[in-house]
Amino acid sequence: MAKKAMYNQEGLEKLRELIKDVDIAMLTTQTAEGLLSRPMKTQEVEFDGDLWFLTKKDTDKYQELQQNPDVNVAYVGKSYVSIRGKAELVESLDKKKEIWNEAYEKLLQTSYDDPNIILLKVEAESAEYWESGNMAKKMVYLVKRMTGNEPDSTNMNETIEL
Amino acid sequence: MAKKAMYNQEGLEKLRELIKDVDIAMLTTQTAEGLLSRPMKTQEVEFDGDLWFLTKKDTDKYQELQQNPDVNVAYVGKSYVSIRGKAELVESLDKKKEIWNEAYEKLLQTSYDDPNIILLKVEAESAEYWESGNMAKKMVYLVKRMTGNEPDSTNMNETIEL
């Protein structure tokens, strides 16, 4: 993956505001059969460009993500947010401890130091959102790439697609 | 695509009940960049294995779907539903007229006979759902295939993945 040069701070803030109260996101992955999505409890730590989830190693999605890291994370709440990114499975006891809370304990029925629990980090690359009452699509390019493959502007761009 | 031999009626009914009050679904498609999702107004006609949406020909998703028909349709409401299927773009004035209503008129700002409006049919192949309060995953195989690639049972199968 291209190295991040800088974040689009305005875009990050907008997304942070849109997703902060959505407790469960839909994570879509590619599998040999097609596209699958499933609900994932969202992080309480503030969004800084990476989304953090917890999963278990003995699940299909753990296998799927190792084969194909392209994912989409959709937040359905007062607005609709689609975040495109790459997933990475991360082993870090410190980070697990940081994001662990009672909701995960109840959902996953274990503790953060269970070696079967692994972090799923999604590095957000771009996002689109639709505010309710105004279904015009808004695009957010989150990172300006060193490689310059993304459009030049790091500002929020608004496009319309119905 | 394999020819459908028979539907899993029990599965269809369960899904119908779960999705009927969700007005907007998230449709995820594969693109050269990764996975994108967007909100789509859902049909009012009863779900019989096919999901129907309306879109415009002058959109990215029209292009994307012609290149890669694998999609996921996620319904977030009282429960979480993930439907895996193949998309097909269908030209049918009669069908457009059948599913057209005032909400589409407002959203798409045109009429059903606009040649830029096209039907997007998603043939559902399998579905998974999670009921709120019980996050155990439930699988529904919707069609028993002639080719026999799908598991033998056409009944609902319950598997657990957290």
What's the rounded Cα separation, in Å, for the pair B153 and B162? Answer: 23
Q: Is the pLDDT of residue B75 over 50?
A: yes
Burial B55-78 (b: 16+ CB within 10 A, else e): beeebebbebbeeebbbbbbbbbe
Q: What angle do CA B126, B63, B58 make, to 5 degrees?
A: 120
Q: Does B85 touch chain A (CB under 8 A)?
A: yes
- Residue holding tokens 């503030």? A46
Segment A122-150 mean pLDDT: 76
The mean predicted confidence, pLDDT, of chain A is 85
Put simply, whether A110 touches B (Cβ < 8 Å) is no
At residue B45, the pLDDT reads 85
Residues A108 and A118 sit within 8 Å (Cβ to Cβ): no
At A45-97, the pLDDT tens digits run 889 899 999 999 998 889 899 999 999 999 999 899 999 999 999 999 999 99
Q: Pick from A71, A76, A108: which is nearest to B35 by CB?
A: A71
Q: Per-residue pLDDT for A147 more than 70?
A: no
pLDDT at residue B148 is higher than 70: no
- At residue A14, φ and ψ (nearest 5 deg) are -65, -45
ipTM above 0.95, yes or no: no
What integer is the mean pLDDT of A137-152?
A: 62
Amino acid at B41: K
How distant is the Cα of B147 from the closest Cα of chain A, in angstroms? 15
The pLDDT confidence band at residue B53, using thresholds 50, 70 and 90, is: very high
How many residues does the structure list for chain A?
162
Q: Encode pLDDT of A21-50 as tens digits.
A: 999 999 999 999 999 999 999 988 889 899
Widest Cα–Cα separation across chain A: 46
At A132, the pLDDT band (50, 70, 90 cuts) reads confident
Alpha helices in chain B (DSSP H): 9-19, 60-67, 93-99, 102-108
- Asked if B135's CB is within 8 angstroms of A76's CB, the reply is no
CA dist B125 and B143 (Å) reads 6
CB atoms within 10 A of CB B7: 15
Residues in chain A within 8 Å Cβ distance of B135:
39, 107
**Is the minimum CB–CB distance between B2 and chain A shorter than 8 Å?**
no
pLDDT category at A144 given cuts 50, 70, 90 is low
Would you state the pLDDT for residue A139?
Answer: 85
Confidence of residue B18 (pLDDT cuts 50, 70, 90): very high
| pLDDT value at residue B67 | 92
The confidence score (pLDDT) of residue B144 equals 55
Out of A18-27, A94-103, B71-80, B141-150, pick the least confident.
B141-150
Backbone angles phi, psi at B74, to 5 degrees: -110, 135
Nearest one of A135, A40, A24, A138 to B40, comparing CA atoms: A135
Among chain A residues, the shortest Cα distance to B80 is held by: A39
Gyration radius from chain A CA atoms: 16
pLDDT (0 to 100) of residue A93: 97
